[in-house]
Structure 1
Amino acid sequence: MTQAQPKPAPMFANPATAPYQVTEAEKDALAAAIDSDELVTLALELGNIPSRSREEAAAAQYVYDWMDREGFQPRRAGATPERPNIIGEYGGLGTGANLLFTAHLDTESPSGDLSQDKFRYRETTMRDPEWTQCWLDEDGRLRGFPISNDRGPMACFLMAAKALKKAGIGLAGKTWLTACPGEIGPEPIEEFSGIDYLGKDIGAHYLFHHGGVAPDYAIAAEGTDFGLTWQGCGYALFRVRVFGTGMFTPILETPETVAQHLNPIYKLGPVIDALHQWGRQWEAQGVFETAGGLSLPKTQIASVRAGAPTDYGAGTEVCAVYVEVCLAPGQKSAQAYHQIVAAMRTLDLDSFDVEPMVVRHGFVADADEVAPLAGAVDAATRLARQAPVERAHPVYSSMWRDHNVFNMQGIPAITTGMPRWRPTPEDLHSSALIYALTMLAVCGRSEQSPNSAAISSVYGGRDDPF
């Protein structure tokens, strides 16, 4: 699987001051409290639990048990018992801002259903061990897509909270530690419908509304090569159906040109060209840049469906093309809809229709409201890595990540984390330290030690019914 190698992006200009000024002594205490071997073991154990979308239960239980052992009062909040959000907490001993960390339990991979996967992946691709296995290689780098996306960053913020507790540093505000299902997907499309195919709706989105959390700020912990962005693209999937006439093959009068053929599959050439040219225009007009990121909304044909291979006597009357369209903050699905319809009307077709099968808009945080959080991450990065935080590469602000969920709700949110591709143990340690310093910088230090007072839980430590 090819991975992009992002280049450094411009640094932020004049980041805001963090709410709490962390000292060198506190940084040193937290750095010493993060056990690199323990962190790597946590990431590997968690990453090696099979956790494709719709199969997150075992990984969720692992996180729950870890939080329980470490004293972070975990609870579950899920739309279904098999796909819960896991929520732990630390701090809340005084008066300070609340910060929520989230990462997703599911990892991109073939579905495991060969009848579907063989039409999407080559056999060699499906055999790649990095889909489901994680290990430390001979070059000292962590391999495996589950660590890169997204259980490595998850392990980092879990260990960050443990470091604060181990160092005896209590937080005035509260930090929530959350592990969510469904961020990768899937989506209910066509016959793959119903709650079994819900993705983002039962993850961080469900968590926000039903998880008993009240954050002032949020961080989606994902790989950004230590960069930071507070914006993200959404997406829509449009089904474009082209209609024609089914004709019994033995009586078909084969036309001289492809354009004259009755079967709509033969119209795919000009349809694809029209959608491609429209997509280039969409990308150019949708460029969205702020101090918090550069979003470049891309488009691509995701799949094609036509006819039935088991019923091939008369061609088909319907050919469907599914077009994935990224939506930069401010772009609406209706804009894409109208433009796709206009592009299709330029073609010589019997008839067609366009339908948005799924829509999720992109969002951006208010620059002034997110400034204290960005300032905290900048201060943490300077302490941990002796360099200011940089704006993340555009690829990280041109995709969906769960900071969109919180910016959607008016909660200033960013995404930031370790290197996305082949991180080292040192990278994980740096990321965990940045997260720990950020927790302290945002929530503030409590005069009470973490063990001197009970930390109240919204549900008194009880799970919801699922």
Structure 2
Amino acid sequence: ILNAHLDTGPELPAEASEAARKIEGAWVDGDLIFGKGVINDKAQLCAFMVAAAAVKKSGIRLKGDLIITGVAFETGTPSVDEYQGVNFPGEGFGTKWLVDRGVTADYALVGETSGFGIVQAECGAAWFKIRVYGRELYTPRLERGSSLKDHPNAFVKMAHVVQALERWAIDYERQERYEFSGGTIIPKAQVVHVRALGDIGHPAAFCDIYFDVRLVPGKKPGDIQKQLQKAVASLNLQFDIIPFQYSRGHIAKNAEPLIQAIQTAHRYVFGSEPPQPPSAEVSMWRDLNVFNETGIPSVCYGPPRQREAMSGGQNRAMKITDLVSATNVYALTILSLCGYEAD
């Protein structure tokens, strides 16, 4: 299976900047191709299609089967609170749907940006909701109390909780750093959203913090919940912590024939060994986790990203020559792994 995803992320808000709107499109400038959807992940899907078309056009008959899949909802939003239903499936829904309906193979190559390194593992992800309690209190009658515990305002308490979570996250990524033969995993964590119910004219009785934690393969969300509980409890205020999404991370097993095929193809195209992938590329969640979880050995390979100034990540650009090189590697990998007979 050659697998890439078609979805690019959520719809832009009405107040999005001109630069944010522009990067939603796609264009060529000099030797670079720009675009949020191009880089993640339509360029790699197109490269798979061009590689397969080239093999077919050459007259070569493959001995093994080749399946190309362009899936949706690789970047699905988790289900929580009022956000329920098919539009909030969590990570990897499209590829899970695919495998559950019998689209399987001996190996799966996921096309994503990887700096031309071979990504052999990805993190899991656990999402937590931390509810911080206060009291509804009319502003003229506000009495702040002598301690954080006594303060009635949930948002004031929330600010301290966010700082405690940030301190925990800094220690976490240092303590959980994991080096293996395929690179270095640095699982990170951050607050991704804060909100309260009700209207802006009245103080809320509670405030919710949504916290995204990446996990090294094998790490359990229950372990993280206990650590977060301890970190926030040190503030001596009323709160609850619940997990609402868990996606497992995996290190590829029995993927050596796929890895060797990519290495051979990379050496032929570049004249050198593939580099180690950047740490970020092995510290996120991608669809190879779905394949590895279901017993289909899977790795990821693709071109590097280039810098630009319009998106939040500032990395939604790619060299056209790099995309062509990746296409050549994909085509040679197909021939090596599937085997072939020439007409």
> Which AA in structure 1 matches 2:156?
Y
Query: In structure 2, how many angstroms separate the alpha carbons of the residues matched to 1:340 and 1:256?
Result: 25
Cα 1:140/1:126, change in 2 over 3 Å = closer
> Which AA in structure 1 matches 2:258?
L
Listed as ranges, the matches of 1:331-342 within 5 Å are 331-342=219-230
Partner of 2:108: 218
Following superposition, the deviation at residue 395 of structure 1 comes to 0.9
Listed as ranges, the matches of 1:239-388 within 5 Å are 239-255=129-145, 260-310=150-200, 312-313=201-202, 315-349=203-237, 351-366=238-253, 369-388=254-273
Following superposition, the deviation at residue 259 of structure 1 comes to 5.5
Q: Show CA shifts across 1:320-347 (max 9, x none).
A: 1111101111211111111111112211
Following superposition, the deviation at residue 125 of structure 1 comes to 4.9
Following superposition, the deviation at residue 289 of structure 1 comes to 2.0
RMSD (Å), alpha carbons: 1.8
The one of 78, 85, 97 aligned to 1:187: 78
Partner of 2:17: 123
Following superposition, the deviation at residue 112 of structure 1 comes to 3.5
Q: Show CA shifts across 1:380-430 (max 9, x none).
A: 011112111122111100111111111111221101012223323322221
> Which AA in structure 2 matches 1:262?
P
TM-score by length of 1: 0.68
Whether contact under 8 Å (1:333, 1:361) holds in the other structure is no
Partner of 1:423: 318
Partner of 1:147: 38
The one of 293, 313, 320 aligned to 1:408: 293
- Please tell me whether residue 135 in structure 1 is matched to residue 18 in structure 2: no
Partner of 1:90: none
Query: In structure 2, how many angstroms separate the alpha carbons of the residues matched to 1:224 and 1:391?
Result: 9
Query: In structure 2, how many angstroms separate the alpha carbons of the residues matched to 1:264 and 1:424?
Result: 48
TM-score by length of 2: 0.91
Partner of 1:458: none
Deviates more, 1:163-172 or 1:269-278: 269-278
Q: Show CA shifts across 1:54-85 (max 9, x none).
A: xxxxxxxxxxxxxxxxxxxxxxxxxxxxxxxx
> Which AA in structure 2 matches 1:353?
D
Partner of 1:111: 11
> Which AA in structure 1 matches 2:295?
G
The higher radius of gyration belongs to: 1
Q: Show CA shifts across 1:234-281 (max 9, x none).
A: 211100011122123343334466663212211123212221121122
- Unaligned runs of at least 5 residues, structure 2: 307-316
Query: In structure 2, how many angstroms separate the alpha carbons of the residues matched to 1:444 and 1:332?
Result: 40
Task: Work out the number of aligned pairs and report it.
Answer: 333
Query: In structure 1, how many angstroms separate the alpha carbons of the residues matched to 2:133 and 2:105?
Result: 50
Query: In structure 2, how many angstroms separate the alpha carbons of the residues matched to 1:299 and 1:254?
Result: 31
- Please tell me whether residue 170 in structure 1 is matched to residue 170 in structure 2: no
The one of 333, 337, 341 aligned to 1:442: 337
Whether contact under 8 Å (1:293, 1:394) holds in the other structure is yes
> Which AA in structure 2 matches 1:136?
V
Whether contact under 8 Å (1:304, 1:321) holds in the other structure is yes
Whether contact under 8 Å (2:76, 2:93) holds in the other structure is no
